[in-house]
Amino acid sequence: MPPNPRVTKAFRAMKAIGISEDKVKPVLKNLLKLFDKNWELIEGENYRALADAIFESEEAEAIEQSKKIVNNEEGYLEEEAQVNEEPERPFKRSRLRNREGEASPSLNNTSLPGTSLVIPKEEQDELRETCPQNQNQSQGIADSPQPNTGKLRSESQAAACQLLGKNKEELPVSTKSMMVQERCDPSRPSAVNISQQKIRLRTESNSVSHPMRLRDRGKGTLSPQIPSGEKRSSLAGCRKEPKLEPSIAVLPKQKTTTSHVLIKDEPVTYDVSQLEVPITVIQPDPSSIGEPSSGNGSIRENNGPDPLASQSMGEKGTADGDPISNETRNIGELARVSDALGAKGAHFNSLDGSVSSQFDEEVVLPQEPQLPPPCDGVDDGMQLNKKASENYCETNEENKENDLEDTNFQHVVVSQEHQLTPETIRSLHDVVDIAKGQERVVITLVNEVNNKSPPSFFYIPKNAVFQNAYVNFSLARIGDNNCCSTCSGDCLSLSMPCACSHETGGEFAYTTDGLIKDEFLKECISMNRDPEKHCQYFCKECPLERSKNEDIVGSCKGHLVRKFIKECWWKCGCTIQCGNRVVQRGISRNLQVFMAPGGKGWGLRTLEDLPKGAFVCEYVGEVLTNAELYDRVSRSSKREEHSYPVLLDADWGSEVVLKDEEALCLDATYYGNVARFINHRCFDSNMVEIPVEVETPDHHYYHLAFFTTRKVKAMEELTWDYGIDFDDHDHPVKAFRCQCGSRFCRSVKRPSRSRTLRR
Ligand SMILES: C[S@@+](CC[C@H](N)C(=O)[O-])C[C@H]1O[C@@H](n2cnc3c(N)ncnc32)[C@H](O)[C@@H]1O
């Protein structure tokens, strides 16, 4: 994309007054957002707004910086004291976006991620005290051929005072901070109005409960006592491009070593309540399934695998080569997983070339995400489909009786405790097998918490390619060095590991019991919990940032360079029972989807004890390009309760510039498997995600598999650490109010240590 000439001009104007492009870039980006890309406001008076914002940003950072230094010193003393009391407290992760030198802590408090415009609350107070009322500082500035920095600064202070005096009480702190950064020049009321409008918008959007984002970043470590909003200082590992933003102050190193104690295997979970026996198990009505999703969608009926498609599934997903197409999606028509047992059996190809049974007729997907209103802790689930769900209940009432006769699974237990009315009972759909027989095991769904209906989505056991995602693999492209065509039987029994072990250093990642080897697991866990000790890659041109399609491509927040497992595959000579084929054999554990306590929505738990290193499930969804994901997210006008995308960024570091169609993610919003129910837990989650190469050595596409990090008891909730950046509101995978209950929760804002000390 050629550079926007207006951006170039802005850079030039700032360069003329000695401000480098690096400093201008983040601020300009945020101003564009703030002003809704109204360039006139930025260009006016010889880029005064821009210069002003840059200076304000520098000031704010300097203040934060000095406060941070004081805090760190104080905090360190406190940390040292606490470490003795809590010997098992591990590092806390920050975001990679918080890496050393990238941004000052104040930035985390803003609803403009990456901006350096925020003035901390204390500074607002300062401003309130120092600025004279009713100033009109604009005079003289307009005459100046270049931005008058001194005046501009005092002008914005005056503006800040005005705004603070007027509106501050009505707004949350982050918004107050934003207001301070707003230009409030009386000579330019329109700018103020726009800013204020924008503030209002942002205030609203910030109140939305945001869904998850994944581990593309956010894996910095913080010492446990550091509030999650604060930044981590050290640049460690073998980052390839720790490009520092010159405009942003480098933070002092935190003294983390003293508090770094590795967590033990048995972190306390708070899900004891889940040990109760499910109170309701209601069979879904089979008759409703085919209909809601019929139409001219592009997941087509297929009478058998197309040999070409099954060997070269790059070719966009479905058996007849059709991708799951945007155009064919209809709003409001999303099949329900509770339709499961009645699936009439259409088919579409998944990425392993297998054909999944879905529906008789072509599936019509929704145009927009069908997510429900924000989570209030009670009203979990897929509200937007409530209507469908109600219809479902009514119209299928009579079928229910028949179903009850037809299946052994079906039973309804009414809880006295919950005093359920007949209506409520009707709406409690506990599902016998959400996988509709597509997994090796039956996966039930129960709700013992509220009367939320089962979620609506299509269960698919394997990934399916959406429109533009380019997943190009074929047997022909897999050379002998990427497979073990001369093997037979079980590769794990060989005295010399076969070629498929090369990816893991000549040793298989699995034990003969099908568990991940301790060493390998340990490293994967450590990578997640303490990413700064591992390789992180900072893209020259980050596909994620690029997909935001903004005038200025933001700088990469970093991606972990991950360890892959490579499993044997079609072209290998071994059998499907080979010990180096774990993930591809699918789910083998007894799992259950259940309504999790604490407002997290549905969750996944195990019904059997699991050993450490056990494969649980793969994250399955639609394979999308990042751009497609952004498109989906931005087209969604609704307030989404949960979100389900995961970036496949484990190998982005191997490309200088990744093509748009190669930067992929998985979205399980509409199509997914049990993994879409796995809730997040900060730091001490009982599962870790590991990239697994199955079909193709091209790591643009891979499988994301979950393995237990420790022994997990039956009925425990299964969790993984999304690596979420709770302060990033600019990511397609949104943050949410974390209810993980972990004592290392990153979303819990701890009181400032310095404040504690001062008291
Ligand atoms: C992949 S979904 C997990 C399943 C989801 N709970 C559901 O009901 O479908 C991710 C979403 O679950 C919710 N969630 C996951 N972990 C959470 C946590 N620790 N605290 C609060 N909400 C959580 C968030 O809304 C998030 O966007």
**Residue 757 pLDDT more than 80?**
no
Which DSSP symbol is given to 477?
Answer: G
What is the structure's pLDDT at 655? 76
What is the structure's pLDDT at 489? 95
Any ligand 1 atom below 6 A from CB of 369: no
Any ligand 1 atom below 6 A from CB of 746: no
Confidence of residue 419 (pLDDT cuts 50, 70, 90): low
Q: Angle at CA 453, nearest 5°, toward 726 and 669? A: 45
**Residue 436 pLDDT more than 50?**
yes
Please give the number of the atom of ligand 1 that sits closest to the Cα of 600. 22
Highest mean pLDDT among 474-478, 553-557, 609-613: 609-613
What is the structure's pLDDT at 421? 56
Any ligand 1 atom below 6 A from CB of 726: no
Please give the number of the atom of ligand 1 that sits closest to the Cα of 210. 27
Any ligand 1 atom below 6 A from CB of 644: yes
Cα(662) to centroid(ligand 1), Å: 27
| Distances 151 to 30, 62, 117, 142, 205 between C-alpha atoms, Å | 22, 19, 17, 11, 33
The residue-averaged pLDDT of 31-53 equals 84
Indicate the SS3 state at residue 357: strand
Please give the number of the atom of ligand 1 that sits closest to the Cα of 380. 8
The span from the CA of 727 to the CA of 596, in Å, is: 24
Residue 316 CA neighbour count, 13 Å, CB half: 15
Choose which residue among 600, 622, 734 to substitute to test ligand 1 binding: the one with the highest number of ligand atoms within 8 A of its C-beta.
Answer: 600
Exposed, middle or buried, 607 (CB in 10 Å: 0-12/13-18/19+)? middle
**Residue 637 pLDDT more than 50?**
yes
**Residue 627 pLDDT more than 80?**
yes
pLDDT above 70 coverage of the chain, percent: 50
Residue nearest to atom 3 of ligand 1 (CA): 677
Q: Identify which of 744, 746, 743, 726 has the alpha carbon closest to the alpha carbon of residue 734.
A: 726
Please give the number of the atom of ligand 1 that sits closest to the Cα of 741. 19
Choose which residue among 459, 717, 725, 736 to substitute to test ligand 1 binding: the one with the highest number of ligand atoms within 8 A of its C-beta.
Answer: 736
Radius of gyration of the chain (CA): 27
Cα(294) to centroid(ligand 1), Å: 29
Choose which residue among 379, 619, 679 to substitute to test ligand 1 binding: the one with the highest number of ligand atoms within 8 A of its C-beta.
Answer: 679
Complex prediction ipTM:
1.00
pLDDT greater at residue 357 or residue 27: 27
Any ligand 1 atom below 6 A from CB of 671: no
Q: How far is CA 98 from the centre of its chain?
A: 17
pLDDT greater at residue 286 or residue 41: 41
pLDDT greater at residue 410 or residue 596: 596
What is the structure's pLDDT at 306? 31
Model confidence, pTM: 0.56
Please give the number of the atom of ligand 1 that sits closest to the Cα of 676. 1
To the nearest 5 percent, what fractions of the chain are helix, strand and coil?
35, 10, 55
Least confident residue range of 134-143, 495-504, 571-580, 652-661: 134-143
Cα(705) to centroid(ligand 1), Å: 18
What is the structure's pLDDT at 484? 96
pLDDT tens readout for residues 204-256: 333 323 333 344 333 333 232 323 333 322 222 333 333 333 332 333 333 33
Any ligand 1 atom below 6 A from CB of 738: yes
Cα(721) to centroid(ligand 1), Å: 11
Residue nearest to atom 11 of ligand 1 (CA): 642
What is the structure's pLDDT at 181? 32
Cα(642) to centroid(ligand 1), Å: 6
pLDDT above 90 coverage of the chain, percent: 27
Cα(596) to centroid(ligand 1), Å: 9
Any ligand 1 atom below 6 A from CB of 699: no
The residue-averaged pLDDT of 516-524 equals 97
What is the structure's pLDDT at 721? 95
Confidence of residue 15 (pLDDT cuts 50, 70, 90): confident
Q: Which residues are catalytic?
A: 619, 722
Cα(707) to centroid(ligand 1), Å: 19
What is the structure's pLDDT at 548? 78
